[in-house]
Amino acid sequence: MAYIQGFLSRISDLLLCRWTCRHCCEKCYESSCCQSSEDEVEILGPFPAQTPPWLMAGRSSDKDGDSVHTASEVPLTPRTNSPDRRCSSSDTSKSTYSLTRRISSLESRRPSSPLIDIKPIEFGVLSAKKEPIQPSVLRRTYTPDDYFRKFEPQLYSLDSNSDDVDFLTDEEILSKYQLGMLHFSTQYDLLHNHLTVRVIEARDLPPPISHDGSRQDMAHSNPYVKICLLPDQKNSKQTGVKRKTQKPVFEERYTFEIPFLEAQRRTLLLTVVDFDKFSRHCVIGKVSVPLCEVDLVKGGHWWKALVPSSQNEVELGELLLSLNYLPSAGRLNVDVIRAKQLLQTDVSQGSDPFVKIQLVHGLKLVKTKKTSFLRGTIDPFYNESFSFKVPQEELENASLVFTVFGHNMKSSNDFIGRIVIGQYSSGPSESNHWRRMLNTHRTAVEQWHSLRSRAECDRVSPASLEVT
């Protein structure tokens, strides 16, 4: 019986030491490793672990606590070979007492969920030298200034001029800006895949404004409407001009060939413009309607109040040209193909536009040619070709001045717009067209150009000053 109790005592000490000591099992069996509580305690498991903080705290508290508790944790070696039965019983009771105190001490130190610190996994190739590779996390440090740079102060401005008209009713817009109202309708034809826009009428338009004092009738306007589907402003439509009225009735329909899904992504823009024969046309106001917000198939008509437009003047139109140079013949060939959305110069019948082409060498006018004029249109098709003799050594000093006029039999022709291409180009688009022609001899190069005012061309191009 004493031998069994001694063996159980050693087994209990061995199991307890397995969880409280890092030395081997042989020393644990001989009870030679648990002589002091100063040893480092570690939880052994399937992963190498560091010393849990709850055990480290327990050891520090043991050092500062009572010494009886520390002494009780020193295991007593049972003596199984003693002939005295009382000594064996005493050793067994001491070992049992020591085991009970250790278990209760460990249970009091152990938290409800022990923390296990797992070492990082090392990645590497099978070689003599292994290097740990850890993914690095790129983190950007933000300063308070970085957040304030994202703010757009104009969105938080309390200026009354920057109010968003989307939050105002038509009555509020009309009373605030007093630009009048426009009546129109839209409907999409699924059978023919086109959108129909009907401009019906307008009312309560403001009186005209003349900035240069050239306006003769300051009591009545000559309004017309331009229609386009944003963001495409090039393919626009235009109603006729209604003379001397603030309540024009248009009753005109226009169709746009566009797929249904694409039409829903567009915004209908209607711009009311005041025609002025002696100066630039003035924008009265505009109405914009996102087509995704209306039922295009069912259709409908609306009265909408006009709001101010950031574009005070109407564009002058566009001109499509083709340039080609033949070095062997020393010929510069120019094709005037077509124009579109030209500024209307006649109230009743639109315009009778024609194009004048003038060759300037350096600052000297060399040759002048012009197209025929087409009656009653702002979208003329010319398809006319002209040829100028320009030696190759003089090509770099040459300039071509294109001026669009409205034919007028009673008085001088009405100026519509101008561009200059060549040595003294009037803009980046014109310079790009000239460079492309120089780089591709014997090949025609086409390009659209937006017309500019006479004053703008005279300011940037000396060649424009040499022509009339």
**DSSP code string of 267-287:** EEEEEEEE--TTS--EEEEEE
Q: Give the per-residue pLDDT at 431.
A: 93
Lowest average pLDDT, out of 16-25, 44-53, 152-161, goes to 152-161
Confidence of residue 198 (pLDDT cuts 50, 70, 90): very high
Match 């564009």 to its residue by tokens.
Answer: 315
pLDDT higher for 76 or 287?
287
Give yes or no for a contact between 220 and 244, defined as CB atoms under 8 angstroms apart: yes
How far is CA 402 from each of CA 357, 361, 390, 415, rounded to the nearest angstrom? 5, 15, 17, 12
pLDDT higher for 32 or 369?
369
pLDDT higher for 305 or 282?
305
Highest mean pLDDT among 20-34, 158-172, 343-357, 445-459: 445-459
Q: Give the per-residue pLDDT at 354.
A: 93
In the predicted model, what is the mean pLDDT of the chain?
75
- Checking if the pLDDT of 161 tops 90, the result is no
Q: Give the per-residue pLDDT at 73.
A: 45
Q: Which amino acid is at 222?
A: N
Say whether 226 sits in a helix, a strand or coil.
strand
CA angle (211 as vertex; 208, 213 as ends), nearest 5:
90
pTM: 0.52
pLDDT per residue as tens digits for the range 365-397: 999 999 998 888 888 999 999 999 999 999 989
Q: Give the per-residue pLDDT at 387.
A: 94
pLDDT per residue as tens digits for the range 419-459: 999 999 999 999 999 999 999 888 899 999 999 988 899 99
- Checking if the pLDDT of 125 tops 90, the result is no
Q: Give the per-residue pLDDT at 60.
A: 53
H or E stretch including 188?
Answer: strand 181-189
Q: What CA–CA distance (Å, rounded) separates 202 from 180?
A: 7
Match 């090392």 to its residue by tokens.
Answer: 122
The predicted model gives 185-195 an average pLDDT of 93
**Strands ordered across the beta sheet of 267-274:** 232-238, 223-230, 267-274, 282-290
Which residues, in sequence order, are bridge partners of residue 340? 318
Q: Which amino acid is at 351?
A: S
DSSP code at position 346: B
Which residues, in sequence order, are bridge partners of residue 335? 322, 385
Give yes or no for a contact between 183 and 302, defined as CB atoms under 8 angstroms apart: yes
Other Cβ atoms closer than 10 A to 128: 4
Confidence of residue 317 (pLDDT cuts 50, 70, 90): confident
